[in-house]
Chain A
């Protein structure tokens, strides 16, 4: 079945450092989505990428979708303590009724 692999599983940074998490799919995706889950909370939708090579920015967050629509990345510039949480990518296949989630990257930050 379809798999979405996400790395790293954990990342600890000093406040102000950058952070990147990567997703790779075994199959071509129609779109990829990113979610953030704060400790003790539920996953919250951040963004959706649809086009090959698409890049989107939300303040200090930059999201990329690969040319082959099989990989994606989330980069956070100059992390802040509010960025703490687990970041999930989720891939959608054309015509499918469900998303496949990556395992998530848990980000912790030393203030």
Chain B
């Protein structure tokens, strides 16, 4: 594995509550990504980071924010969770100079 840890792995939360997912890496990779996976949509990029405090939006960023205050941690926050954000969330990392990415094991989020 690529030294990626996601937490929590499973969470059930109520509509309107804030939720933060954490991605932790141990290998000092520059690039980190948050994807969501839903049936029929494959993997869709939410936000990504190309360095500490450097982040950018992906294709489905509405309703999500991210922060990266140190290299090893990339946080994804749902400010006010909605049922449409029920999904599996994958963190991924990529080393500089490489194109391939490595995924964490996923975080299953259910918003009721």
- A residues with a Cβ closer than 8 A to B are 1, 6, 9, 30-31, 33, 41-45, 48, 88, 90, 92, 97-104
How far apart are the CA atoms of A64 and B48 in the complex, in Å? 29
* B111 on the A face (CB < 8 A): no
Size bin of chain B's contact surface:
20 to 34
Closest to A2 in B: B59
Check A98/B48 contact, CB under 8 A, given A31-B99, A33-B100, A44-B103. yes
Contact call A104/B42, Cβ cutoff below 8 A: yes
The answer to whether B50 and A103 touch across the interface, beta carbons within 8 angstroms, is no
Q: Find A102's partner among B33, B42, B58, B101 (CB 8 Å cutoff).
A: B42
When A97-B48, A97-B50, A98-B48 are in contact, do A43 and B100 touch as well, CB less than 8 Å? no
Contacts of A104 in B (CB 8 A): 42-43
- The CA of A48 and the CA of B94, in the complex, are separated in Å by 14
* Residues of chain B having any CB pair with chain A under 8 Å: 31, 33, 35, 40-45, 48, 50, 56, 58-59, 90, 99-106
CA distance A33 to B43 in the complex (A): 14
Docked CA distance A6–B42 (Å): 10
Closest to B42 in A: A103
Known: A42-B90, A97-B48, A104-B43. 10 other contacts (CB 8 A): A30-B99, A45-B102, A48-B99, A88-B43, A90-B101, A92-B99, A98-B33, A100-B45, A101-B35, A101-B44
